[in-house]
Amino acid sequence: MLAVGASLPETTFSLLKDGEMVTLHTNELFGDKRVVLFAVPGAFTPTCSHAHLPGYVALADKIKAKGVDDIMCLSVNDAFVMDAWGKASNADEIMMLSDGNGAFTQSVGMDMDTDTFGGVRSVRYSMLVEDGIVKAIHVEDPGRFEVSDAETMLKSL
């Protein structure tokens, strides 16, 4: 599992930008930047939609005021779903990243098999990344939402 001090693995992510599919590499997203990334098990799911993403939407300005360049939400969903979820959640300040095949999630050891719920998904976590290096990470215990929320991240900045 990913730990403080680790470098993020080189992989690709997808997102929709102005209606077009864009593929970005790890170094493009995290190199020479200070980034908050939070990951959720699935777009439009209850805790993710009612608490996790809305918390980051509400505190985006305060988080960025602490010197954060970008706030990213990651899920093992396709880019179209992530885009629709971001729009439905007024997440204009959040980059909605797709890890569609779960490659990043699996490479950092944050994957879980949800069986019939959706197959391989991400555990719930948040992290602060500076220049591609993990500076802080908050991983939730299964079924919990206590440490990866926006308020906890803001306090840790």
Phi then psi for residue 125, to 5 deg, are -160, 170
Phi then psi for residue 76, to 5 deg, are -85, 70
- Two tokens, residue 42: 């699935």
Give me the active site residues, please: 48
Close Cβ partners of 118 (under 8 Å, ≥ 6 residues apart): 41, 42, 76
Residue 107 near residue 2, CB atoms below 8 Å: no
Give the integer Cα–Cα distance in Å for 144 and 135: 22
